[in-house]
Protein backbone atom coordinates (compact mmCIF):
# COMPACT_ATOMS: atom_id res chain seq x y z
CA UNK A 1 0.00 0.00 0.00
CA UNK A 2 2.75 2.45 0.94
CA UNK A 3 4.68 1.64 -2.25
CA UNK A 4 1.60 2.44 -4.32
CA UNK A 5 1.20 5.78 -2.55
CA UNK A 6 4.88 6.63 -3.10
CA UNK A 7 4.64 5.69 -6.79
CA UNK A 8 1.46 7.75 -7.20
CA UNK A 9 3.08 10.74 -5.49
CA UNK A 10 6.11 10.44 -7.80
CA UNK A 11 3.93 10.20 -10.91
CA UNK A 12 1.96 13.30 -9.92
CA UNK A 13 5.13 15.22 -9.03
CA UNK A 14 6.79 14.25 -12.31
CA UNK A 15 3.67 15.27 -14.26
CA UNK A 16 3.68 18.68 -12.56
CA UNK A 17 7.39 19.08 -13.29
CA UNK A 18 6.88 18.11 -16.94
CA UNK A 19 4.03 20.60 -17.25
CA UNK A 20 6.26 23.28 -15.70
CA UNK A 21 8.93 22.63 -18.32
CA UNK A 22 6.30 22.75 -21.07
CA UNK A 23 5.10 26.07 -19.67
CA UNK A 24 8.63 27.48 -19.62
CA UNK A 25 9.23 26.29 -23.19
CA UNK A 26 6.00 27.96 -24.31
CA UNK A 27 6.98 31.19 -22.58
CA UNK A 28 10.39 31.17 -24.26
CA UNK A 29 8.72 30.51 -27.61
CA UNK A 30 6.97 33.87 -27.28
CA UNK A 31 10.30 35.56 -27.96
CA UNK A 32 10.31 33.98 -31.43
CA UNK A 33 6.67 34.16 -32.62
CA UNK A 34 7.29 31.94 -35.64
CA UNK A 35 8.03 29.05 -33.27
CA UNK A 36 4.49 29.19 -31.87
CA UNK A 37 3.09 28.89 -35.38
CA UNK A 38 4.74 25.52 -35.96
CA UNK A 39 3.10 22.20 -35.15
CA UNK A 40 5.00 21.80 -31.90
CA UNK A 41 4.15 25.35 -30.82
CA UNK A 42 0.48 24.85 -31.62
CA UNK A 43 0.39 21.56 -29.71
CA UNK A 44 2.13 23.14 -26.75
CA UNK A 45 -0.30 26.06 -26.91
CA UNK A 46 -3.30 23.72 -26.78
CA UNK A 47 -1.89 22.10 -23.66
CA UNK A 48 -0.63 25.21 -21.84
CA UNK A 49 -3.01 28.02 -22.84
CA UNK A 50 -6.04 26.82 -20.81
CA UNK A 51 -3.93 26.92 -17.65
CA UNK A 52 -2.44 30.31 -18.51
CA UNK A 53 -5.81 31.80 -19.44
CA UNK A 54 -7.01 31.22 -15.88
CA UNK A 55 -4.23 33.47 -14.56
CA UNK A 56 -4.65 36.03 -17.34
CA UNK A 57 -8.21 36.63 -16.14
CA UNK A 58 -6.87 38.03 -12.88
CA UNK A 59 -3.48 39.45 -13.89
CA UNK A 60 -3.61 41.77 -16.89
CA UNK A 61 -0.44 42.40 -18.92
CA UNK A 62 1.65 45.38 -17.86
CA UNK A 63 2.20 47.04 -21.19
CA UNK A 64 4.12 44.52 -23.30
CA UNK A 65 5.02 42.34 -20.31
CA UNK A 66 2.77 39.48 -19.23
CA UNK A 67 3.61 38.34 -15.71
CA UNK A 68 0.81 35.78 -15.46
CA UNK A 69 3.11 32.91 -16.59
CA UNK A 70 5.42 33.64 -13.66
CA UNK A 71 2.51 33.45 -11.24
CA UNK A 72 1.33 30.27 -12.99
CA UNK A 73 4.73 28.63 -12.48
CA UNK A 74 4.76 29.64 -8.79
CA UNK A 75 1.26 28.16 -8.44
CA UNK A 76 2.48 24.88 -9.95
CA UNK A 77 5.36 24.78 -7.48
CA UNK A 78 2.96 25.38 -4.58
CA UNK A 79 0.66 22.64 -5.88
CA UNK A 80 3.63 20.28 -6.15
CA UNK A 81 4.68 21.02 -2.57
CA UNK A 82 1.09 20.63 -1.38
CA UNK A 83 0.70 17.26 -3.07
CA UNK A 84 3.99 16.08 -1.56
CA UNK A 85 2.89 17.23 1.90
CA UNK A 86 -0.47 15.48 1.61
CA UNK A 87 1.13 12.22 0.49
CA UNK A 88 3.69 12.43 3.30
CA UNK A 89 0.87 12.90 5.80
CA UNK A 90 -0.93 9.86 4.37
CA UNK A 91 2.19 7.75 4.60
CA UNK A 92 2.81 8.86 8.19
CA UNK A 93 -0.79 8.05 9.09
CA UNK A 94 -0.35 4.51 7.77
CA UNK A 95 2.70 3.91 9.95
Name every residue whose Cβ is closer than 8 Å to that of residue 26 and which is 6 or more positions away in sequence.
Answer: 36, 41, 44, 45, 48, 52, 69
Name every residue whose Cβ is closer than 8 Å to that of residue 66 and which is 6 or more positions away in sequence.
Answer: 56
CA atoms 8, 9, 13, 16: torsion sign = positive
Q: pLDDT by residue for the chain (95 residues), tens digit each?
A: 889 999 999 999 999 999 999 999 999 998 887 888 899 999 999 999 999 999 999 998 888 888 999 999 999 999 999 999 999 999 899 87
Alpha-helical segments (H) within the chain: 2-29, 33-37, 39-58, 68-94
Specify the pTM. 0.87
Amino acid sequence: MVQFIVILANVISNAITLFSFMLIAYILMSWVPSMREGKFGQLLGKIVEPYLSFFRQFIPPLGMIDISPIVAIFALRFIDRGVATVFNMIIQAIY
